[in-house]
Amino acid sequence: MDGFIFYIKLGFNHVMDPGAYDHVLFLFALALPFKFKQWKAVLVLVTIFTVAHCLSLAMAVYGLLSVPVAWVEFLIPITILATAVYNCLMKIDGEKHQNLGLHGAITAFFGLIHGFGFSNYFRMLMADEPEKFWPLLGFATGIEISQVVVIFAALFVSFMAMDLLRVNKAFYIRLFSILIGIITIPMIVKAFP
């Protein structure tokens, strides 16, 4: 049980690590189009992301698929920028979100990419582990818990801006998407293979 708790903490800290703020940026970009009362839709997207993230991590850990680290490190900020651009280009409705299915498919694809970003470290960490399923499940649980914390923080910021301060939804989404994009561009330049 101690090992399982260790991997939950590892997954939680993977997202919350201040030096790895790319994950938090992606989650904020993912949550931007939604209002607080749409938390269930965002939770579905986050769960899709976690499942895809852990699927690619499992494929790497079990040696089924390997992706060059340089490309993954380049593609992760690309996914953040793409999410921010998608937010700027999407049709913004006052109370509902358009194309949740498309958003879910994109989120799953981006989750696969993000999962490979942690795979080398995780594979080394698990080199002496005879059983890999429980550590993966613990890690996935930690990721999901931390992502829920981040998503609810993002939704709370949206609530404060749109519901309390009455900031126009389209303006809010586009402004913060542009800011996320600007923060992400140096990451892309630095990681360019």
pLDDT at 123 over 90: no
> Rounded to whole angstroms, how far apart are CA atoms 100 and 78?
21
**Cα dist. 122→10, 14, 132 in Å?**
10, 11, 10
Tokens linked to 48: 């899709």
Give the model's confidence band at 125: pLDDT under 50 very low, under 70 low, under 90 confident, else very high: confident
pLDDT for residue 95: 55
pLDDT of residue 12: 94
**Is the confidence at residue 187, as pLDDT, over 80?**
yes
* pLDDT in the model for residue 62: 85
Average pLDDT over residues 173-182: 96
| Residue 5 token pair | 């708790």
Q: Would the pLDDT of 150 be above 90?
A: yes
Query: 172 falls in which pLDDT band (50, 70, 90)?
Result: very high
* Model confidence at 127: pLDDT above 80: no
Per DSSP, the chain holds a count of helices (H) and strands (E) of 8, 0
Predicted confidence (pLDDT) per residue in 87-114, tens digit: 998 877 655 555 678 889 999 999 999 8
pLDDT at 129 over 60: yes
pLDDT computed for residue 35 by the predictor: 87
- Residue 100 is predicted with a pLDDT of 75
The confidence band for 67, taking pLDDT boundaries of 50, 70 and 90, is confident
Q: Where are the domains of the chain?
A: 2-12+21-191
pLDDT of residue 94: 54
More confident residue, 93 or 131: 131
* Cα(171)–Cα(161) distance, integer angstroms: 11
